Amino acid sequence: MGARILLTTDLPHPARELLAAAGEITVLAAPPGYEELDALCASGDFDVVLTQLRDRIDGPLLARARVKGISNYAVGYNNIDVSAATKHGIAVANTPGVLTDATADIAMLLVLGTARRVIEADRLVREGRFTGWEPELMLGSDVSGKTLGLAGFGRIARATARRALGFGMEILFAPRPPGDRVVGREELGEFAGKVRQVPWSELVASSDYLSLHVPLNADTHHLVDADVLGRMKPSAILINTARGPIVDEEALVAALSTGRIAGAGLDVFENEPLLAAGLAQLPNTVLLPHVGSATVPVRAEMARLSALNAIAMASGQVPAHPVNP
């Protein structure tokens, strides 16, 4: 019998074809709720479940599950309790590498978009309020010569640093979880002499743009809270392309509304797809619907990797991108 793979959502070409060639695939017509997914995982009808970020794969579900693996269609896997999966002998895999540049593009877009008030400016033109060039129309901030602080220094942070250096920014970073270890010269590679590691507290206090690139876990949940927001420069802008719950969104709304910080560029939210009350009304924000990896080639490549991971796990092999320790 070929691989029996359950897809909680359809995947772009060529993943469907790869999966179909490997065995029998079942694609759910609509995103499953927790109970439905729990029952499907426990049914014994599937070898592997191909999930995405909104599918909650927690300890109780994994304890009941009769599957060999979970293949997540994402690089992040905070939706899956990996230690519970490991305990129950269930492999977990993700899609690293292929979305690095696309996500760094969005981080840089948010830096530039907040600095130059692109949403407010666009709205002004569309609403017919542009009455001609004016010396003080839509004045924003520079990015050149400003400090970009990177929380985390993994693949996406580095790709963001590469872009920001091209825009003449100074780069500081604190590795994950912030400030926990010194990144040596060798590990810095191409960035040696171009970026500087600082403690988390200095990163917070010195950044003109503070960009988050840490995974969401117990250590990073609400890493940016009212206290941290209170220690940022009043002119600073917060950028989040990582995961919403890294920021206390209510505290962020308060900091933005009182002018405690100057702006925020967010591609992710604490309770997607919902926004904290008041966030959408704030002019000093650029808000995107979690589109860091949303280019046609990147999504196709993520789908291909997740399909190959699923096929490997279904036949009892170690996937190319395992997450379990």
Q: Is 149 in the site for ligand DGY (CB under 6 A)?
A: no
Q: From the CB of 33, what's the least distance to ligand DGY, in Å?
A: 21
Q: Which of 243, 260, 304, 321 is catalytic?
A: 243
Other CB atoms within a 10 A radius of the CB of residue 135 amount to 5
Q: Which stretch binds ligand DGY (CB under 6 A): 57-65, 70-78, 158-166, 195-203?
A: 70-78
Amino acid at 106: I
Indicate whether 293 belongs to the interface with ligand DGY (CB under 6 A). yes
312 in Cβ contact with 319 (< 8 Å): yes
CA distances from 230 to 114, 139, 208 (A): 19, 25, 14
Alpha helices in the chain, H assignment, sequence order: 15-22, 34-42, 59-64, 82-87, 100-115, 118-126, 155-166, 185-188, 200-206, 226-231, 249-257, 296-314
Taking contact as CB under 6 A, which single stretch among the options 16-24, 72-80, 161-169, 225-233 is the one that binds ligand DGY?
Answer: 72-80
Query: Residue 246 CB, nearest distance to ligand DGY (Å)?
Result: 12
The residues pairing with 177 across neighbouring beta strands, listed in sequence order, are: none
185 is an active site residue: no
Cβ at position 310, least distance to ligand DGY in Å: 16
Does 245 engage in binding with ligand DGY (CB under 6 A)?
A: no
Among 195, 292, 303, 307, binds ligand DGY (CB under 6 A): 292
Q: Considering the complex, what minimum distance in angstroms separates the CB of residue 75 from ligand DGY?
A: 4
Give Dmax (Cα) for the chain. Answer: 72
Among 32, 69, 76, 245, binds ligand DGY (CB under 6 A): 76
**DSSP codes, 265-315:** EES--TBTTB--TTGGG-TTEEE--S-TT-SHHHHHHHHHHHHHHHHHHHT
Backbone φ and ψ of 301, nearest 5°: -70, -40
Number of Cβ within a 10 Å radius of residue 166: 9
Binding flag, residue 96, ligand DGY (CB under 6 A): no
Residues listed for the chain: 325
- Nearest CB to ligand DGY, comparing residues 147 and 211: 211
Catalytic site includes residue 321: no
Does 75 interact with ligand DGY (rule: CB under 6 A)? yes
Q: Is 244 in the site for ligand DGY (CB under 6 A)?
A: no
Q: Considering the complex, state which of residue 152 and residue 260 has its C-beta at the smaller distance from ligand DGY.
A: 152
For position 178 contacting ligand DGY by CB under 6 A, the verdict is: no
Rounded least distance, CB 78 to ligand DGY, Å: 8
Catalytic amino acids? 243, 272, 290
Name the site residues for ligand DGY (rule: CB under 6 A): 74-76, 99, 292-293
